[in-house]
Amino acid sequence: MPVNQNIKVAVDAVVFGYDAKQLSVLLIKRGVTPYKDSWALPGGLVQDNESLETAVTRELKEETGVTIDYLEQLYTFGEPLRDPRNRVVSVSYFGLVRPNHFTIQAATDAKEVQWFPITKLPPLAFDHQKILEIAKERLKGKLQYQPIGFDLLNKEFPFSDLENLYTTILEQKIDRRNFRKKILSFEIVEETDKIHQQGSGRPAKLFKFNKKKYNQLLTEGFHFEIKIV
C-alpha cells in the first residue's frame, strides 16, 4: 500500500537555569510567522546532512548564543496539527546550566532571548508549554534517583547550597538529615578545611564534589533516593 508522507523533523531545546535559589528556562521571542512575537523554546528544522544532536546544538547556538556540552533527549512530539504550516515531528532535548556562565544573544529567527523564572512564564507558542511541563517532570524524577546538578554549584560550597538546589527544583521540602547522610555515605561530596561565613549566621564548612568517585559509582550502578518531607 502506497504511503502518503510529507513529514518534517525538528528539534527543540528546554534549557533550565539554576542560580540564586531560582529555577528558570531559556526562551526566545519568535521573529517570524507563525506565532510571531510569541515566546517559544529554542529550536528549528533538522537539515538533511546533520544528526539530531548536531541540529539541536546548532539551533541553540544560533538563536541564543548558548553552547551546552550535553543535552539529554527528552521526548518526541508528533501531533498532526502541532504546527499550522505543515506536519512537523519534534524531538526535544533538555539540559541544566548556570545562566551566569553564558552571554545570551538572539539571532536568526529569534528577535529576543531571555531567562524566565519557571514560576513566571509567558504564554508559549506551538505545544511548547506541554514540552516544558514534561521536561520539568523528567528533571524532578532524575534528580531523585541520580545526584545531578553539582555543576550548578561553586567549586566549594556550604552543604545548604546543595540542599537548596534540590528543594528549588523539586518544589518540595526534603528530609535534610536523610539527604545529608545519604550524600555523604556515597563519598561523592567531600568536606574541606575551609569555612564559609555569611552575615552574622553560624559559620558553615565548605564541601567539594568528588567527580572521580561519582563516575565510579555511575559505572558500578548505585541507588539514590530522596525522602520528601
How much helix, strand and coil, in percent to the nearest 5, is found in the chain? Answer: 30, 30, 40
Question: Pairing state of beta strands 8-19 and 39-40?
Answer: unpaired
Q: What is the mean pLDDT of each run of 10 residues along the chain (229 residues)?
A: 87 93 95 96 97 96 90 95 95 93 91 96 98 95 75 87 91 89 90 80 86 84 72
Cα–Cα distance for residue pair 27/166, rounded to 1 Å: 23
Q: What is the full DSSP assignment across 49-117?
A: TS-HHHHHHHHHHHHH----S--EEEEEE--TTSSSSS-EEEEEEEEEE-GGG------TTEEEEEEEE
Domain that holds residue 133: 8-144
Active-site choice (62, 112, 156, 163): 112
Q: Report the pLDDT value the prediction gives residue 199, as an integer from 0 to 100.
A: 61
Examine the residue annotation and report whether 112 is marked as an active-site residue of this protein: yes
User: Do 183 and 137 belong to one domain?
Assistant: no
pTM here? 0.89
User: Do 17 and 91 belong to one domain?
Assistant: yes
User: Do 123 and 173 belong to one domain?
Assistant: no
Q: Report the pLDDT value the prediction gives residue 200, as an integer from 0 to 100.
A: 63
Cα–Cα distance for residue pair 174/166, rounded to 1 Å: 8
Cα–Cα distance for residue pair 143/22, rounded to 1 Å: 16
CATH number of the domain encompassing residue 128: 3.90.79.10
User: Quick check: is 163 in a domain?
Assistant: yes
User: Residue 171 has what DSSP assignment?
Assistant: T
User: Do 114 and 157 belong to one domain?
Assistant: no
User: Do 110 and 194 belong to one domain?
Assistant: no
User: Do 133 and 151 belong to one domain?
Assistant: no
